[in-house]
Each structure stands twice: as C-alpha cells, then as structure tokens.
Chain A
C-alpha cells in the first residue's frame, strides 16, 4: 500500500447507528487531517492531529469523534448522525506545520438514511 488509504469507500447507515471510518498513511508523515466534502460546497477542515495530539477542531459537532492512536492511523467515530452529514469524508496527511502540502486519500462516501 502506498499513499493514504481510507476504508470503507462507501458507507450507508441509519441515524441511530454507530460506525467508524479508518485512515492509514504510508508516507511517514506526522500530521493527519479529516475533511468533509459536500456537494456544491468547498472542502471543510474538521480536525487536525500532529504527533497523535489534536491541534485543531473546526467547531465540529460532538457526534463526530476523532481518534489518532499513532502517526499513521486516524479514525472518525460516528454516532447519531443527521441526514445533512451525508458527504464525502476525506483524510489527508502531511509532514506537519505550515507550508507542507497535504496529501489526500480517496475518501469514504457516507450516506445517512
């Protein structure tokens, strides 16, 4: 595996379900990110982790709960989601710090019934 891989690629869940999205980076990076991409809207940053520590939370509702056990893995735990949460969730990684380009995975397409 190379780059940034995300699983699952597609997920359909009910509003009362609990599920998790997984991201793994094989680039030796120190920072990882979650973004949300909705139709007709720009990508929105959700969370930033540097060396496993959360350094930014972009006012994300508590029904989204991130976890970063090490610099290579990032999870997004989902519970009690709303229909407006249906979107493409993208994970990215970088060397960390400003100036460094962020490299993205191909995302998880999430649909809330």
Chain B
C-alpha cells in the first residue's frame, strides 16, 4: 500500500532561520511527488511536482528535492507569511490519478 509520512508534525522557526521539512514515501513505482501549501480555511495550493530522484525545483524561498525514498522542502530565510501547513503527496505509476497525501507539517514562522 502506498504511504506518505511527513515530519516533523509541527515546526516553529524564527524569521530568517532556515530549515527543512521531510516527506518519506513508499510507493509501487513513483509517477510524481507533489508539494502543496495549505493556509487555514483554504484549500491546498500547488507548489511543485518532482518526477525522478535528483530532481530539484525552486520557488522564492522554497526548494524541493527528491531521492528514491524521500523528498525535502528546504525553506531559506523564512518570513512570517511562509507560515502554513505543507502537504506532500505521491502518485503511483499505473494510470490512476489518485494522490496519496501525508498528514502535513504545520510551519510557524515568528517575526
């Protein structure tokens, strides 16, 4: 069964304090790994898709990387507006469009 585990569950940072969020996955052939950001009272907002080990993608202060077993979301010099829950999801090969999500990491950035 495909599975996604995110750690830590919650993370508090000071503004400017860089850190990383982890997404470990087991899947029967990875088609894609997706990162989303979810603000309170809102739906998830798409950030990145990664397809193969070694791939990296960047957007402003966020950088996502992928290995064969996990993905990291690196946050460089975060700002309070980066506070949100970050969700990771995997899609398996085989034709299904199903995304299997982790429970997310709730990030709080204090000014």
B102 CB contacts on chain A under 8 angstroms:
42
Residue in contact with A106 in the complex, picked from B41, B49, B51, B100, CB distance below 8 Å: B41
A44 partner residues in chain B, CB cutoff 8 A: 101
Residue of B nearest to A107 (CB): B43
Name the contact of B43 in the complex, choosing from A48, A90, A99 (C-beta under 8 A). A90
Contact residue range for chain B? 20 to 34
Check if A56 sits within 8 Å of B97, measured CB to CB: yes
Tally A-B pairs: CB < 8 A.
Answer: 65
* B45 close to A (CB within 8 Å): yes
Cβ contact within 8 Å between A101 and B49? yes
Within the complex, the shortest CB–CB distance from A49 to chain B, in Å, comes to: 10
- 0 or 1 for each of A82-113: is its CB under 8 Å from B? (1 = yes): 00000000101010111111111111000000
Complex CA–CA separation, A58 to B91 (angstroms):
14
- The interface residues of chain B lying within 8 Å CB-to-CB of A55 are 97
Q: Does A12 interact with chain B (Cβ within 8 Å)?
A: no
Q: Is B62 an interface residue (CB 8 A)?
A: no
Q: List B residues 34-70 near A (Cβ within 8 Å).
A: 34, 36, 41-46, 49, 51
Query: A76: CB under 8 A from chain B?
Result: no
**Knowing that A42-B104, A50-B97, A106-B41 are A-B contacts, what are 20 other residue pairs whose CB atoms are under 8 Å apart, sorted by A's residue number?**
A40-B103, A42-B100, A43-B89, A43-B99, A43-B101, A45-B98, A48-B97, A48-B98, A56-B96, A90-B43, A90-B44, A96-B97, A98-B93, A98-B96, A99-B32, A100-B97, A101-B49, A103-B46, A104-B46, A107-B43
Q: Which residues of B contact A (CB under 8 A)?
A: 4, 31-32, 34, 36, 41-46, 49, 51, 87, 89, 91, 93, 95-104
